[in-house]
Amino acid sequence: MEAFAVSLGLVALAEMGDKTQLLALLLASRFQRPLPIIAGIFAATLGNHLITAAVGLFLGVELQGPWLKWVIAASFFAIAVWAFFPDKDDGKERKTPPLGVFGTTAVAFFLTEMGDRTQIATAVLAARYASWLPVVAGTTLGMMAANLPVVLLGQQLLQRVPIAVLRWGAIVLSAGLGVVTLLE
């Protein structure tokens, strides 16, 4: 039970302000279909954390290293640059992507989690507790606890705040997180 509780709490806290929360807001604003987005986040997180916990548990590999700081910072800067260029169809009806909203969300979240601090935490917790299932359950629920409000409340935010303000906020936040990551 300790492995589950620590995993849930650690990942929920680590996820606050993370790039996957920005991705959740972006997807919620773009597609405006919370249920397939939430299901996609859950599927991607569960799959990613199952693999990561297995690596942490069976190989005992600690994935931290000096290169990781640069990868994470580059990811933040890439998000800032991406947010700088608004979609050409902002304000218009959104077309469903080829993979559907669920598939697009699942693929985007799975890839975004690669090398993320929550992925590293999952591997380290699995190695620390030598317990696979409670760690995966805790880290997956921690991710959901952090991202579910973003998806559900993102719609309310978009009704009150212009998309340009949110876009600039994402640019400033992402670039700031990139700088902070490099300075750590």
pLDDT in tens, 66-85: 655 665 566 667 666 766 66
pLDDT score at 115: 76
Long-range contacts from 74-77, C-beta under 8 angstroms, 24+ separation: 74/178, 75/19, 75/112, 75/115, 75/178, 76/19, 76/174, 76/175, 76/177, 76/178, 76/181, 77/174, 77/175, 77/178
Q: Which two tokens stand for residue 55?
A: 């690596």
| pTM of the shown model | 0.68
Nearest Cα neighbor of 158 from 59, 71, 20, 30 is 30
pLDDT score at 65: 57
Instruction: Using 70 as the pLDDT threshold, list the residues of the chain that sit under it.
Output: 59-76, 78-80, 82-96, 155, 158, 163, 166-167, 170, 173-174, 177, 181, 184
Tell me how far apart the alpha carbons of residues 130 and 126 are, in angstroms, rounded to a whole number: 5
Question: What three-state secondary structure class fits 146?
Answer: helix
Tell me how far apart the alpha carbons of residues 102 and 80 are, in angstroms, rounded to a whole number: 24
Q: Is-contact 138 6, C-beta < 8 A?
A: yes
